[in-house]
Amino acid sequence: MKKILILHTGGTISMAEDESGHVSPNAVNPLTQLVLPSTKIEIVSEDIFNLPSPHITLEHMLTLKNRITTAFGEGFDGIVITHGTDTLEETAFFLDSTIQRGKPIIITGAMRSSNELGTDGIYNLQTAIRVAADDDSHDRGVLVVMNDEIHSARYVTKTHTTNVSTFQTPTHGPLGLLTKDKIFYFHRDSENQHLDIHSVSGKVPIVKCYAGMNGEIFDLLDVTTLDGLVLEALGAGNIPPAASHSLERIIEAQVPIVLVSRCFNGIAEPVYDYDGGGSQLHQAGVMFAPEVNSQKARIKLVIGLNAGVQDLPHFMEN
């Protein structure tokens, strides 16, 4: 019999809607009161947090990572995490980047609270448990399971504010799906690099670029307190010329700068050789992070800094 640990962190999946339509956390997580219909799986539940996902920090993610590592040493065969959807992809990516592949780690959530009509929380939890107990889920990294789909933590992102099918994987598509009785995997994504860190310190903001950007935002940044910077650039990886000139001060201060595209699909790469173009930025020392969005690039840079990675460009660009 498989032994699965469910770690509840809060979020909409554990909240309730009041008479006015406002959704807020419960004093007691309703998911811990569920009796799930399973005779083949031993389930243990823990409330590790009870937080809306915008309240989740990197320190919470590190606590979660440490609990998962301990749980595998206690003989659990898989982990299911319930999480708010706003920052779910960031927690999933953090865990995928800091825990070696092996036993299944599944993250799920809900777009409708526990007492709303058509609530999806209980169903998503049940399907997540099924995936965690499936032998074919081993060595696939952290998986996000919602709406009968299985996604890689490395690439999945929230795409809609309210729709139950909000989690999608641009460019690649889902790794698999669930039917009533079976689990199907279509492919296996490439191995992500894992670093076992013990701290998550570092000031790494994200700046989104836009037409007519003049660099004033970069001028406001104090390079003496900055540990890194993530740029969400235009197109394949370009920024307006005035902004690129202001960026030179940060580059000269040897602050690690990582660039991703603000585009929903595709890969950022240094192609254009003009003032503010990606080719010139890359030559100046800006690192390009392929196939991740800005919030995940930030997490990856923080992990690299706390792990003491010497070759940051190779780490960030692979």
Residue 190 in domain? no
At 294, is the pLDDT very low, low, confident or very high (cuts 50, 70, 90)? very high
Question: Are 242 and 167 part of one and the same domain?
Answer: no
Residue 195 in domain? no
Q: What does the pLDDT average to over 290-310?
A: 96
Percent of the chain past pLDDT 90, that is, above it, reads 82
Give the domain CATH number at 133.
Answer: 3.40.50.1170
At 11, is the pLDDT very low, low, confident or very high (cuts 50, 70, 90)? confident
Q: Any idea which residues carry the catalytic annotation?
A: 12
φ, ψ dihedrals at 138, nearest 5° = -70, 150
Provide the number of structural domains found in the chain. 2
Full domain range(s) for residue 127: 2-185
* pLDDT on residue 29: 66
Residue 192 in domain? no
- With 0-12 / 13-18 / 19 or more C-beta atoms within 10 angstroms meaning exposed / middle / buried, residue 135 is exposed
Q: How many residues does the chain have?
A: 318
Question: Are 89 and 220 part of one and the same domain?
Answer: no
Q: What does the pLDDT average to over 150-161?
A: 96
Question: Are 30 and 141 part of one and the same domain?
Answer: yes
Give the C-alpha separation, 177 to 37, whole Å: 21
At 14, is the pLDDT very low, low, confident or very high (cuts 50, 70, 90)? confident
At 220, is the pLDDT very low, low, confident or very high (cuts 50, 70, 90)? very high
Q: Would you say residue 44 has pLDDT above 90?
A: yes
Q: What is the pairing mode between strands 157-158 and 167-168?
A: antiparallel
